């Protein structure tokens, strides 16, 4: 009786060297690195279910569990690979059959296909990465909220179209980023929820005649539930596409934040400086301190966006069925994106925590840049009875004249307003100098912004407190999933060890 089994009986020739080098070898190497441990876990869960359902005898399952546990303990190198097969499972099965013979070793694949097996292991790999990514994102959010609280009164110019707009604080800028990051958290949590469904038991596409308990294997593998319809389970990879899209959105935000920080770190702005550990130097210009960490963050964002484009391109114009380009090929760019995004989250947290600010320069820029012009127009409208548009016209003329005369915003006087009002509307305004000074003061501008969502100090305290509460809930939710996965893995391996004796 043959002591070997093969998956290539249907074809007479071995795969070509070019196919091996282009497809099989990199695919198997990637699986060894990214899903070997998950595959061992799946084999144990499936074997335990086969025994529980009476599909495979207990002594055979005990032997199978013992061999799989040995392979799991020894790691990927315990499975010899010659790269003539297209996936990791082909070598794992060969290794199990070599150890137990084709009768016992060949029973592990009962009621199962590589289709549902591979769909399950790669979902597990994605799920693990998403849990870690969400934990990293929560840490970044915590750092951003800490800094927002610390800099809630650090006045700076706010910008629209890269031009001075209205005074804000650095803490308010950070809090805005924190809310965007919270939405990223929800998007990634949604992707995790959709990845956290178990395809195992779907078979090739329509389940099997064996009485499998798909709920049991889903539970043993720590999934929230089975992915019910078998055809969907082996044909769909919207879980990976959704994850890639969420990561691309997140990384785009981080790139935009890095762009601001890079601009504000220049000599021309002088608002802040990166820590030395996040900077590089020039080989020829001794004065240079280059913000290489920020440049790297922006480049990485482009790579994650490219991963999304690659995954979508692999999937488009494919049959809605189990096909390698739509179901398998997306794993490479998407999992590369998860590891890259995790690294950038950790780096972004470190960069933000290491910034050194120049609050005096930031406040000075806010004072001299006419960002308080909106508040001045509001004061005119409130105190003179003119419409806001008329007040807007007056202030615009005053600002234009001041710029032409080389004056800063804090050099505007009540007489300038009267002159502009007389020119435009034939009468002076009579705004008190004290009211004018208060309107032009950036800090007073900020204190006046008490409307919901504004940067006033009381608003900032309340908003930061609310966001800390939301962050705590998000952290707890991630920890619940992580604990569920750890407990399920421990249970599966413990049951397998007990059965193996």
155: β partners: 169
State the residue for tokens 């007479």.
12
Are 456 and 450 in contact by the 8 Å Cβ rule? The answer is yes
The model's pTM is 0.94
- Strand 272-273 with 356-357, pairing: antiparallel
**Closest by Cα among 37, 62, 104, 53 to 496:** 62
Residues 501 and 497: their CA atoms lie apart, in Å, by: 6
Q: Which long-range contacts (C-beta less than 8 Å, at least 24 apart) are formed by 416-425?
A: 417/380, 420/394, 420/395, 421/394, 423/397, 424/390, 424/393, 424/394, 424/397, 425/386, 425/390, 425/394
Residues 112, 335, 22, 115, Cα dihedral to 10°: 10
Residues 410 and 412: their CA atoms lie apart, in Å, by: 6
Q: Which long-range contacts (C-beta less than 8 Å, at least 24 apart) are formed by 29-36?
A: 30/331, 30/332, 31/87, 31/88, 31/121, 32/76, 32/79, 32/81, 32/88, 33/76, 34/125, 34/331, 34/335, 35/88, 35/121, 35/122, 35/124, 35/125, 36/75, 36/76, 36/79, 36/88
What's the pLDDT at 1? 41
Q: Where are the domains of the chain?
A: 17-114+492-500, 119-209+225-360, 373-440
Are 227 and 199 in contact by the 8 Å Cβ rule? The answer is yes
* Environment class of 277 (CB within 10 Å of its CB; exposed 0-12, middle 13-18, buried 19+): exposed
For the record, the structure tokens of 294 come out as 């920020």
- Read off φ and ψ for residue 446, nearest 5 degrees: -65, -45
What's the pLDDT at 72? 98
For residue 273, what is the enclosing H or E element? strand 272-273
Residues 221 and 209: their CA atoms lie apart, in Å, by: 22
What's the pLDDT at 12? 78
Are 147 and 171 in contact by the 8 Å Cβ rule? The answer is yes
We find that the CATH architecture of domain 17-114+492-500 is Orthogonal Bundle (1.10)
**What string of pLDDT tens digits covers the 501 residues of the chain?**
445 666 666 777 889 999 999 999 999 999 999 999 999 999 999 999 999 999 999 999 999 999 999 999 999 999 999 888 889 999 999 999 999 999 999 999 999 999 999 999 999 999 999 999 999 999 999 999 999 999 999 999 999 999 999 999 999 999 999 999 999 999 999 999 999 999 999 999 999 999 999 999 999 999 999 999 999 999 999 999 999 999 999 999 999 999 999 999 999 999 999 999 999 999 999 999 999 999 999 999 999 999 999 999 999 999 999 999 999 999 999 999 999 999 999 999 999 999 999 999 999 999 988 889 899 989 999 989 899 999 899 999 999 999 999 998 888 999 999 899 899 999 999 899 999 999 899 999 999 999 999 999 999 999 999 999 999 999 999 999 999 999 999 999 999 999 999
Instruction: For 470-487, give the DSSP string.
Output: HHHHHHHHHHHHHHHHHH
What 8-state DSSP symbol labels residue 35? T
Inter-helix orientation angle 114-150/457-500, to 10°: 150
What's the pLDDT at 7? 66
SS3 state at 357: strand
423 alpha-carbon distance from chain centroid: 55
Q: How many residues does the chain have?
A: 501
Residues 188 and 137: their CA atoms lie apart, in Å, by: 10
- Strand 163-169 with 155-160, pairing: antiparallel
For residue 211, the tally of other CB atoms under 10 A from its CB is 9
Are 198 and 218 in contact by the 8 Å Cβ rule? The answer is yes
Residue range 373-440 in CATH 1.20.58: no
CATH class of 119-209+225-360: mainly alpha
Q: Where in the sequence numbering do the catalytic residues fall?
A: 161, 282
């Amino acid at each position: 009786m043959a002591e070997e089994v093969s998956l290539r009986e249907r074809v007479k020739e071995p795969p070509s060297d070019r196919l091996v080098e282009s497809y099989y070898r990199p695919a198997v190497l990637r699986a060894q690195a990214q899903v070997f441990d998950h595959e061992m876990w799946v084999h144990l869960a499936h074997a335990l279910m086969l025994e529980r359902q009476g599909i495979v005898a207990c002594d055979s399952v005990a032997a199978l569990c013992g061999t799989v546990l040995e392979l799991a303990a020894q790691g990927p190198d315990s499975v010899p690979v010659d790269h003539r097969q297209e996936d990791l499972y082909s070598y794992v099965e060969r290794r199990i059959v070599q150890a137990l013979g084709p009768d016992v070793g060949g029973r592990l694949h009962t009621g199962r296909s590589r289709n549902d097996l591979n769909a399950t292991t790669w979902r597990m790999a994605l799920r693990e990465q998403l849990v870690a990514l969400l934990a990293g994102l929560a840490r970044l959010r915590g750092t951003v909220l800490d800094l927002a609280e610390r800099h809630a009164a650090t006045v700076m110019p706010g910008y629209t179209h890269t031009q001075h707009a209205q005074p804000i604080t650095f803490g308010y800028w950070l809090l805005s980023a924190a809310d965007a990051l919270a939405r990223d958290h929800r998007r990634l949590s949604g992707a995790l929820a959709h990845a956290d469904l178990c395809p195992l038991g779907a078979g090739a596409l329509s389940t099997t005649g064996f009485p499998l308990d798909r709920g049991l294997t889903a539970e043993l593998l720590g999934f929230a539930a089975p992915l019910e319809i078998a055809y969907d389970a082996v044909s769909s990879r919207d879980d990976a596409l959704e994850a890639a899209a969420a990561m691309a959105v997140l990384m785009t935000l981080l790139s935009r934040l890095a762009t601001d920080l890079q601009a504000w770190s220049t000599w021309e702005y002088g608002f802040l400086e990166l820590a030395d550990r996040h900077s590089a130097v020039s080989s020829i210009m001794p004065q240079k301190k280059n913000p290489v960490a920020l440049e790297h963050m922006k480049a990485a964002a482009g790579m994650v966006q490219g991963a999304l484009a690659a995954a979508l391109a692999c999937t488009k114009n494919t049959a809605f069925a189990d096909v390698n380009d739509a179901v398998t090929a997306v794993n490479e760019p998407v999992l590369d994106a998860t590891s890259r995004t995790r690294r950038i989250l950790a780096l972004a947290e470190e960069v933000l925590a290491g910034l050194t600010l120049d609050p005096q320069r930031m406040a000075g820029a806010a004072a001299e840049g006419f960002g308080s012009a909106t508040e001045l127009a509001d004061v005119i409208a409130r105190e003179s009875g003119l419409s806001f548009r008329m007040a807007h016209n007056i202030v615009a003329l005053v600002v234009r004249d001041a710029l032409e005369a080389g004056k800063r915003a804090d050099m505007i006087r009540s007489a300038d307003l009267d002159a502009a009002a007389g020119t435009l509307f034939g009468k002076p305004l009579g705004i008190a100098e004290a009211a004018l000074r208060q309107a032009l003061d950036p800090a007073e501008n900020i204190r006046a912004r008490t409307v919901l969502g504004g940067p006033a100090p009381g608003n900032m305290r309340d908003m930061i407190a609310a966001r800390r509460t939301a962050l705590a809930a998000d952290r707890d939710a991630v920890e619940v999933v992580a604990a569920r996965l750890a407990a399920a893995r421990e249970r599966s391996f413990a049951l397998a060890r007990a059965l193996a004796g």
